[in-house]
Chain A
């Protein structure tokens, strides 16, 4: 019990700054506290610290602009991809016969489905990673709680009354009833996809983003502005093309918002990486030499 409590304490204390983390763990060791009481003490300190941070504007801004929208984006995308791939897998597994392995048409279809699934999952994983990276890069001070909320929303929102728009509910179509009648596809497949292709990359992105040097306030404001500007431009173009037949449907606006927000963190990461990569310097030098020549 004490070992588990101490393990949880050392994990929880990571929410504090490096100096304070050292001082707190040292104080606990010196006082001989390493059981549940130490865990309660550290939890109390982290809660007070986070409470103080949330008295300011920035964490709420991060919650509204990144955590909630991207939780919606990732939750919806991951469940849509999981449902779609569940149908494909069910089709191939249920109809599998070794004799088909020699059929070129069947193999082509299988290969195409495989590539489709791999690209969807890779895209989801990259979007999850970039969301975590952007969150850690832009709003580091409120990272612990916002990251926790993002993960919780991602994992549990779909299970506690979060209904997806009609376009994404593959499992509700009567034609797919056989697939989702299976306990594995109905209960286990989607959480597995969400965990592997969404949650793990997201946590990795948060870890990678937290290692980067903190951004200057001006850079944060610039990136946030670019994210919103991109969203506005995309929405406008999208609206012009779709307004004739679907502007009255709220699902359409939902889908547009998803597309906009899905693109934003990738752009944010791209801007940051572009600033830090060595080829940027080389390119600048070459440009300068060319202009001098």
Chain B
């Protein structure tokens, strides 16, 4: 089972697709959640997800915007998609019928 932050990183990586790397994932998470994402938390989570086989990372090309430094690009694997889907379904299932989920549904309706 994924952790909350791991799920956020996977979601951001899927949204960004081929532009998923450290800085863009941080920015995406900050935009989606309104919370600042610590660099240390992001990189250690990327390592953990890679060790679990949920993502692949590789070093990309250097760009002038980054002072000529390379990016650590991220791609979600099939196993990662399955894990994220399972996490989402579990959260949805366990949340069914609880007050905050009901409020959300009525608000959305």
Contacts and interface: CB of A to CB of B under 8 A. Distances in A.
Interface stretch (B4-12, B19-27, B79-87): B19-27
B38 A26 contact: no
A27 B26 contact: yes
Interface residues of B, number: 21
Contacts of B65: 29-30
A108 to B, nearest CB: 62
Nearest to A16: B43
A42 B69 CA distance: 16
The CB with the most chain A CB atoms within 10 A, among B65, B66, B70, is that of B66
A26 B71 contact: yes
A23 B69 contact: yes
Given A31-B26, A45-B39, A48-B44, A23 B59 contact: yes
Contact of B38 (A19, A20, A24, A44): A44
Interface in B54-68: 59, 62-63, 65-67
B59 A45 contact: no
Contacts of B43: 20, 24, 45, 48
B70 A26 contact: yes
Query: Which of the listed residues A19, A20, A30, A42 has the most CB atoms from chain B within 10 Å of its own CB?
Result: A30
A44 B41 CA distance: 8
A49 interface: yes
B23 A26 contact: yes
Nearest to A49: B44
B40 interface: yes
Contacts, number: 71
A47 interface: yes
Nearest to B48: A52
Contacts of B62: 22, 26
A29 B70 contact: no
A41 interface: yes
B66 A24 contact: no
Contact of B67 (A25, A41, A46, A52): A25
Interface string A14-58: 000001101111111111000000000111111111001000000
B23 A31 contact: yes
Contacts of B21: 23, 27
Contact of B40 (A22, A25, A31, A45): A45
A191 to B, nearest CB: 34
B26 A26 contact: no
B70 A47 contact: no
Contacts of A19: 59, 70, 72
Contacts of A46: 40
A45 B23 contact: no
A5 to B, nearest CB: 14
Query: Considering the complex of A and B, which 8 residue pairs feature the smallest CB-CB distances, nearest first?
Result: A26-B69, A44-B40, A26-B66, A45-B40, A41-B39, A23-B72, A27-B23, A27-B22
Given A45-B40, A45-B44, 20 more contacts: A19-B72, A20-B72, A23-B21, A23-B22, A23-B70, A25-B66, A25-B69, A26-B62, A26-B66, A27-B21, A27-B23, A29-B65, A30-B66, A41-B38, A41-B39, A41-B40, A43-B40, A44-B39, A48-B43, A49-B44
18 contacts: A19-B59, A19-B72, A23-B70, A23-B71, A23-B72, A24-B22, A27-B39, A29-B66, A30-B23, A30-B65, A31-B27, A41-B39, A42-B40, A45-B40, A45-B44, A47-B40, A48-B44, A52-B44
